[in-house]
Amino acid sequence: MFTGIVEELGTVAAIDGGRLRFACREVLADVEMGASIAVNGCCLTVVGWDTDEGWWDTDVTQETFDKTSLGDLVVGEPVNLERPVRLQDRLGGHLVQGHVDAVGEILAPAPDLRVRVPEHLMRYVVQKGSITLDGISLTVVDPDGDTLGVAVIPHTAEVTTLGHKDVGSRLNVEVDVMAKYAERLLTGHLPDSESSTGAPS
Protein backbone atom coordinates (compact mmCIF):
# COMPACT_ATOMS: atom_id res chain seq x y z
CA MET A 1 0.00 0.00 0.00
CA PHE A 2 1.28 3.47 -0.94
CA THR A 3 0.24 7.08 -0.33
CA GLY A 4 0.87 8.72 -3.70
CA ILE A 5 3.52 11.02 -2.22
CA VAL A 6 6.55 10.59 -4.49
CA GLU A 7 9.77 10.06 -2.53
CA GLU A 8 12.28 10.35 -5.32
CA LEU A 9 12.56 11.15 -9.00
CA GLY A 10 14.65 8.29 -10.38
CA THR A 11 15.65 7.50 -13.94
CA VAL A 12 15.44 4.50 -16.23
CA ALA A 13 18.99 3.12 -16.28
CA ALA A 14 18.53 0.09 -18.54
CA ILE A 15 15.87 -1.94 -20.35
CA ASP A 16 16.52 -5.56 -21.28
CA GLY A 17 13.29 -7.15 -22.41
CA GLY A 18 11.18 -7.49 -19.27
CA ARG A 19 14.05 -6.57 -16.94
CA LEU A 20 14.09 -2.88 -16.00
CA ARG A 21 16.79 -1.08 -14.02
CA PHE A 22 16.18 2.20 -12.23
CA ALA A 23 18.84 4.59 -10.96
CA CYS A 24 18.04 6.19 -7.60
CA ARG A 25 19.30 6.64 -4.05
CA GLU A 26 16.63 7.40 -1.47
CA VAL A 27 14.33 4.40 -1.98
CA LEU A 28 17.32 2.04 -1.61
CA ALA A 29 17.84 3.01 2.04
CA ASP A 30 16.10 -0.10 3.41
CA VAL A 31 15.70 -2.20 0.28
CA GLU A 32 15.56 -6.00 0.44
CA MET A 33 14.89 -8.83 -1.97
CA GLY A 34 11.21 -9.05 -2.85
CA ALA A 35 10.42 -5.57 -1.57
CA SER A 36 7.85 -3.46 -3.40
CA ILE A 37 8.57 -0.09 -4.98
CA ALA A 38 5.99 1.88 -6.97
CA VAL A 39 7.25 3.15 -10.34
CA ASN A 40 4.93 5.73 -11.89
CA GLY A 41 2.18 4.22 -9.77
CA CYS A 42 2.89 0.56 -10.63
CA CYS A 43 3.79 -1.72 -7.74
CA LEU A 44 6.92 -3.63 -8.81
CA THR A 45 9.12 -6.19 -7.03
CA VAL A 46 12.83 -5.70 -6.33
CA VAL A 47 14.87 -8.62 -7.76
CA GLY A 48 18.34 -7.09 -7.47
CA TRP A 49 20.09 -3.89 -6.40
CA ASP A 50 23.36 -2.13 -5.65
CA THR A 51 23.18 0.59 -3.02
CA ASP A 52 26.72 1.80 -3.73
CA GLU A 53 26.12 2.30 -7.44
CA GLY A 54 22.52 3.38 -6.86
CA TRP A 55 20.24 1.11 -8.86
CA TRP A 56 17.63 -1.64 -8.52
CA ASP A 57 16.16 -4.19 -10.94
CA THR A 58 12.67 -5.51 -11.46
CA ASP A 59 11.01 -7.97 -13.84
CA VAL A 60 7.91 -6.74 -15.65
CA THR A 61 5.41 -9.16 -17.18
CA GLN A 62 3.81 -8.64 -20.57
CA GLU A 63 0.47 -8.19 -18.78
CA THR A 64 1.90 -5.20 -16.89
CA PHE A 65 3.39 -3.73 -20.05
CA ASP A 66 0.01 -4.11 -21.80
CA LYS A 67 -2.05 -2.53 -18.98
CA THR A 68 0.26 0.36 -18.00
CA SER A 69 2.52 2.97 -19.58
CA LEU A 70 5.71 1.17 -18.50
CA GLY A 71 6.20 -0.05 -22.06
CA ASP A 72 6.63 3.60 -23.13
CA LEU A 73 9.71 4.08 -20.94
CA VAL A 74 13.10 4.81 -22.53
CA VAL A 75 16.56 4.88 -20.99
CA GLY A 76 17.22 8.19 -19.25
CA GLU A 77 13.56 8.98 -18.67
CA PRO A 78 12.56 10.19 -15.18
CA VAL A 79 10.20 8.05 -13.10
CA ASN A 80 8.28 8.59 -9.85
CA LEU A 81 9.41 6.26 -7.07
CA GLU A 82 7.74 5.49 -3.75
CA ARG A 83 8.26 2.79 -1.13
CA PRO A 84 5.23 1.24 0.60
CA VAL A 85 3.75 3.15 3.52
CA ARG A 86 4.64 1.98 7.04
CA LEU A 87 1.98 1.81 9.74
CA GLN A 88 3.69 4.58 11.73
CA ASP A 89 3.91 6.97 8.74
CA ARG A 90 1.68 9.97 8.15
CA LEU A 91 -0.78 9.36 5.31
CA GLY A 92 0.01 12.50 3.34
CA GLY A 93 -1.89 11.52 0.20
CA HIS A 94 -4.53 8.80 0.11
CA LEU A 95 -4.59 4.99 0.05
CA VAL A 96 -2.94 3.87 -3.18
CA GLN A 97 -2.58 0.20 -4.11
CA GLY A 98 -0.15 0.51 -6.98
CA HIS A 99 -2.58 -1.46 -9.15
CA VAL A 100 -3.15 0.58 -12.31
CA ASP A 101 -6.76 0.77 -13.53
CA ALA A 102 -6.05 2.26 -16.95
CA VAL A 103 -3.77 4.49 -18.96
CA GLY A 104 -4.82 8.11 -19.51
CA GLU A 105 -3.65 10.74 -21.98
CA ILE A 106 -2.57 14.29 -21.22
CA LEU A 107 -4.69 16.87 -23.05
CA ALA A 108 -3.11 19.91 -21.36
CA PRO A 109 0.17 19.84 -19.37
CA ALA A 110 0.90 21.07 -15.85
CA PRO A 111 0.22 23.34 -14.10
CA ASP A 112 -3.39 23.14 -15.36
CA LEU A 113 -3.16 19.44 -16.08
CA ARG A 114 -6.06 17.87 -17.96
CA VAL A 115 -6.22 14.14 -18.61
CA ARG A 116 -8.53 11.91 -20.62
CA VAL A 117 -9.34 8.62 -18.89
CA PRO A 118 -11.55 5.70 -19.96
CA GLU A 119 -15.14 6.81 -19.46
CA HIS A 120 -16.12 3.79 -17.33
CA LEU A 121 -13.72 4.99 -14.61
CA MET A 122 -15.27 8.45 -14.36
CA ARG A 123 -17.99 7.18 -12.01
CA TYR A 124 -15.25 6.90 -9.36
CA VAL A 125 -14.06 10.48 -9.92
CA VAL A 126 -15.62 13.35 -7.97
CA GLN A 127 -14.75 17.01 -7.61
CA LYS A 128 -12.22 17.49 -4.77
CA GLY A 129 -11.79 13.71 -4.58
CA SER A 130 -8.47 11.90 -4.88
CA ILE A 131 -6.94 10.25 -7.94
CA THR A 132 -3.52 8.78 -8.62
CA LEU A 133 -1.75 9.79 -11.84
CA ASP A 134 1.64 8.16 -12.47
CA GLY A 135 1.78 7.32 -8.77
CA ILE A 136 1.05 10.88 -7.61
CA SER A 137 -1.86 11.54 -5.25
CA LEU A 138 -3.75 14.50 -6.70
CA THR A 139 -7.02 16.33 -6.04
CA VAL A 140 -9.59 16.44 -8.82
CA VAL A 141 -10.66 19.97 -9.77
CA ASP A 142 -13.26 19.55 -12.49
CA PRO A 143 -14.34 16.14 -13.84
CA ASP A 144 -16.26 16.43 -17.11
CA GLY A 145 -17.27 13.62 -19.45
CA ASP A 146 -14.19 11.46 -19.92
CA THR A 147 -11.70 14.09 -18.76
CA LEU A 148 -10.56 15.51 -15.46
CA GLY A 149 -8.45 18.44 -14.38
CA VAL A 150 -6.02 18.77 -11.51
CA ALA A 151 -4.07 21.83 -10.39
CA VAL A 152 -0.36 21.01 -10.13
CA ILE A 153 1.64 23.22 -7.80
CA PRO A 154 5.22 24.15 -8.84
CA HIS A 155 6.76 21.87 -6.20
CA THR A 156 4.91 18.82 -7.53
CA ALA A 157 5.90 19.64 -11.12
CA GLU A 158 9.52 19.96 -10.02
CA VAL A 159 9.87 16.75 -7.96
CA THR A 160 7.73 14.41 -10.12
CA THR A 161 7.43 13.45 -13.77
CA LEU A 162 4.55 15.88 -14.29
CA GLY A 163 7.04 18.65 -15.02
CA HIS A 164 8.39 16.55 -17.90
CA LYS A 165 5.12 15.42 -19.46
CA ASP A 166 3.56 17.13 -22.47
CA VAL A 167 0.36 16.85 -24.52
CA GLY A 168 -0.12 13.29 -25.74
CA SER A 169 1.95 11.72 -22.95
CA ARG A 170 0.39 8.69 -21.31
CA LEU A 171 -0.15 8.38 -17.56
CA ASN A 172 -1.00 5.46 -15.30
CA VAL A 173 -4.37 6.03 -13.63
CA GLU A 174 -5.57 4.49 -10.37
CA VAL A 175 -8.92 5.62 -9.04
CA ASP A 176 -9.70 5.76 -5.33
CA VAL A 177 -10.13 2.16 -4.15
CA MET A 178 -12.56 3.33 -1.44
CA ALA A 179 -14.98 4.46 -4.15
CA LYS A 180 -14.80 1.01 -5.76
CA TYR A 181 -15.48 -0.70 -2.44
CA ALA A 182 -18.46 1.60 -1.79
CA GLU A 183 -19.92 0.81 -5.20
CA ARG A 184 -19.47 -2.92 -4.67
CA LEU A 185 -21.21 -2.80 -1.31
CA LEU A 186 -24.15 -0.75 -2.55
CA THR A 187 -24.70 -2.39 -5.93
CA GLY A 188 -27.86 -4.46 -5.85
CA HIS A 189 -29.23 -2.66 -2.79
CA LEU A 190 -30.30 0.57 -4.48
CA PRO A 191 -33.02 1.06 -7.11
CA ASP A 192 -31.65 1.00 -10.67
CA SER A 193 -28.12 0.51 -9.32
CA GLU A 194 -26.99 -1.34 -12.43
CA SER A 195 -28.15 1.33 -14.83
CA SER A 196 -26.80 4.18 -12.71
CA THR A 197 -23.28 2.78 -12.16
CA GLY A 198 -22.81 0.50 -15.12
CA ALA A 199 -21.75 -2.27 -12.73
CA PRO A 200 -23.39 -5.68 -12.63
CA SER A 201 -25.64 -6.45 -9.68
Structural domains of the chain in order of their starting residue, each with its CATH number: 8-82 (2.40.30.20), 102-183 (2.40.30.20)
Q: Which of 86, 114, 79, 119 is nearest to 101 (CA)?
A: 119
What is the pLDDT, as a whole number, of residue 201? 31
Residue 44 and residue 37 in contact, taking contact as beta carbons nearer than 8 Å: yes
Strand partners, 194: none
Distance between CA 4 and CA 56 in Å, rounded?
20
Global confidence as pTM = 0.88
Can you give the pLDDT at residue 188? 76
| pLDDT for residue 93 | 78
What single DSSP character describes residue 94?
A: -
Q: What is the DSSP letter of 96?
A: B
How many Å apart are CA 60 and CA 39, to the nearest integer? 11
Note the pLDDT of residue 197.
Answer: 43
Residue type, 156: T
Q: b/e string for 96-127 if b means 16 or more Cβ within 10 A?
A: bebebbebbbbeebbeebbbebeeebbbbbee
pLDDT string in tens for the chain (201-residue length) = 899 999 999 999 999 999 999 999 999 999 999 999 999 999 999 999 999 999 999 999 999 999 999 999 999 999 999 999 987 777 777 889 999 999 999 999 999 999 999 999 999 999 999 999 999 999 999 999 999 999 899 999 999 999 999 999 999 999 998 888 888 888 877 666 444 444 433
